[in-house]
Amino acid sequence: MVQVTLLTEEQIWGENALEVIKKYGTKVALSDLAIVLGGWLGSAGTTIEGDRSGYIWTASGLIDLGLVRTITHAGDLCYYYPNRRRDGVRPVLLKKETDKIKNAKIKKVLLPNDLEVTMAVFGEYPQKSVKIKLSDLLEKMYHNRELKKTKRYFTFDTAGLTDYEHPFKPKLYFVYEHEGKKYIRVEGRPADSDSILSNGKDVQIGEPYWIEVLPIKWLVDEKTGIWISKKALISGIRFGKDDFYDGKFEKTDMRAYLKDYFAKEMLQKE
């Protein structure tokens, strides 16, 4: 199992920002899964690759105010109370972890700004909503018990987005197979009216959405050895149990989720 963290403020903005972030930009797209689970997109931001960008947690804080530093949909600095659940989670692997990885696919990618970055493919996670026709088919097969249910699963929080007082409420979402591909079925809990998926569907509260399990793409910072998930893969996770963040990321709910669930499940075998 690998250890997973989040980027710090210093790694994102300013002269000391990671070189790969300087090339790619500070705006971060949300996966369709993150949108379904309550990730806040905002209304206008897009990444350098044209994907809609959203609000993202970092590991840094405004200690005097007890707030967590976040990234806006425009890629700017912002901050919120740690008991929020609407911000996206962009996992990060530090060098001590990436040095151990031997089975990742590494390639060079040319960005629309004509700058080249290194991309790694490692692990799997539910990410993209399926096309509407396939969604209807999978839903019908699900109710008719015609889909193959595997032993693999992913764990998400089912507490309400505005449920600031209650802790993590885990629910297992099992993986189903159809024609050689893997999917999970997740109930929607949209952040707002801007919660629109890549297949064009608006996310509605309690409605089912089929999300395909895909390889995770990581931006590689060659100078530091750090890998950063290209997209925010998940949302709906409370950063901390209190309304005050003291800057000790290792003690947060977010760190516990990344350690106890995400890190294990992205590498889980059936």
Whole-structure pTM value? 0.96
Q: How far apart are CA 32 and CA 29, in angstroms?
A: 9
- C-alpha to C-alpha distance for 207 and 227, rounded to whole angstroms: 34
Q: Which helix (H) or strand (E) is 106 found in, with range?
A: strand 105-110
What is the reported pLDDT for 172?
97
Beta bridge partners of 227: 93, 220
- How does pLDDT run along the chain (270 residues), one tens digit per residue? 799 999 999 999 999 999 999 999 999 999 999 999 999 998 778 999 999 999 999 999 998 999 999 999 999 999 999 999 999 999 999 999 999 999 899 999 999 999 999 999 999 999 999 999 999 999 999 999 999 999 999 999 999 888 888 888 999 999 999 999 999 999 999 999 899 999 999 999 999 999 999 999 999 999 999 999 999 999 999 999 878 999 999 999 999 999 999 999 999 976
What is the identity of the amino acid at 234?
Answer: I
Which residue, 69, 24, 84, is CA-closest to 49? Answer: 24
